[in-house]
Structure 1
């Protein structure tokens, strides 16, 4: 679908939905707080957390797909704007964003789709599988900390020049094709940090929801060997 296609450029005036992919091994506040802020500030009708089965840039996950999905459900149970989409967990091979977006556009043919990423992902966006086609199926929302400054390579700079918008209404009025930057709280926490803390018998309190902490402890996850 080229960017000149009427389905991409026409005004649709329908509230967009968002998708945030990740291994979520485990999910933590560094995922959840930016997700909620984007959902509220951009006025998405729903933001779906999209756990990967096998991320293309990772060899494996520590926990099974079933357990990672369960932790996501526990984490978002009390937040009605956040939901889970498990389509990638059903794949036996690495999940590519372009393939997921094609499926999503079939499921939501008339709804603008926003794919949320961090600044680090945008910096390497031109290395993604079929990256030139991604904006045919969605908008990109790039989360960043306040006052960020970044040097982009020539390919990303050209992409931003052609597709960047400062108007969040574009995300709802157009089906796809825009890149929007959104300031969010950037918490210095990572899944690997949490796994390391557990293996070293250190506290993980205040890094992720208590419901997820309780599940990790009850199931004795992230001890020494993969689940």
Structure 2
């Protein structure tokens, strides 16, 4: 690939707990668009969620365990160290100051893009990054007019743009969409049902060791 500067990626989320539904699409995107490194970035307090179930320290450790064998994946802890709701625009401003010459790809699912115009300072986000949208093969989504206009203005189908331009593009990447959710995992654990094959073994072992997500 003829590129000037290899982009890095960031995938944010509560990861309560992290599972293969997060990890497999993340890996596929990292390889498909040739990211130099992909950072998994757990939230401390997500603006749209009232609370998490696992502590920041526990969720951080589970992410570290989940990606330990992936040399091009790392954890970014900056949002965990905040003590107030964490907004994407604030994080992106920090990242661009830290990586002024490196293109940044912010990864999200199609469901997040559909309500993107409800995000805090959403009009400014593409000034700091590209958006890489993970979606299932063949799925066509109908956006509201604001998001539809944004996509029309910024969409690219050329991967080179993600590396050769600093920011401003929206790129759609098809990925495996595994029907796994953190909510489902917590519910299974609450009822003492196995979560084998839903998340890495190291994460399962950590959950068992610390008796996470079980009814007190």
Question: Using the alignment, how far apart are the partners of 1:190 and 1:81 within structure 2?
Answer: 24
Q: C-alpha distance in 2, partners of 1:40/1:88?
A: 25
Q: Does residue 37 in structure 1 map to residue 28 in structure 2?
A: yes
SS at match of 2:123: helix
* Alignment partner, residue 200 of structure 1: 191
Q: Which residue of 2 aligns with 1:145?
A: 136
Q: Which runs of 5+ in 1 are unaligned?
A: 1-11
- C-alpha distance in structure 2 between counterparts of 1:224 and 1:120, whole Å: 30
Aligned with residue 79 of structure 2, among 74, 83, 88: 88
Q: Say whether 1:51 aligns with 2:42.
A: yes
Q: 1:134 aligns with which of 105, 125, 142?
A: 125
1:119-198 matched pairs, under 5 angstroms? 119-198=110-189
Q: 1:66 aligns with which of 49, 57, 70?
A: 57
Report what 2:210 is aligned to: 219
**CA apart distance, 1:13:** 1.6
Aligned residues: 214
Q: In the alignment, does 2:13 pair up with 1:13? A: no
C-alpha displacement at 1:63, in angstroms?
0.7
Between the aligned partners of 1:131 and 1:198, the Cα distance in structure 2 is 36
CA distance in 2, matches of 1:209, 1:151: 34
Q: Offset at 1:224? A: 2.0
Long gaps (5+) in structure 2:
none
Match of 2:104 among 113, 116, 126: 113
The match for 1:100 is 91
User: After superposition, what is the alpha-carbon deviation per residue over 1:4-46, rounded to whole angstroms, capped at 9, x for unaligned?
Assistant: xxxxxxxx82000000000000000000000000000000000
Following TM superposition, the consecutive aligned residue runs of length 4 or more in structure 1 with deviations greater than 2 angstroms are none
| Partner Cα distance (1:117, 1:123) in 2 | 11
**How much does 1:127 deviate?**
0.2
Give TM-score, length-normalised by structure 2.
Answer: 0.98
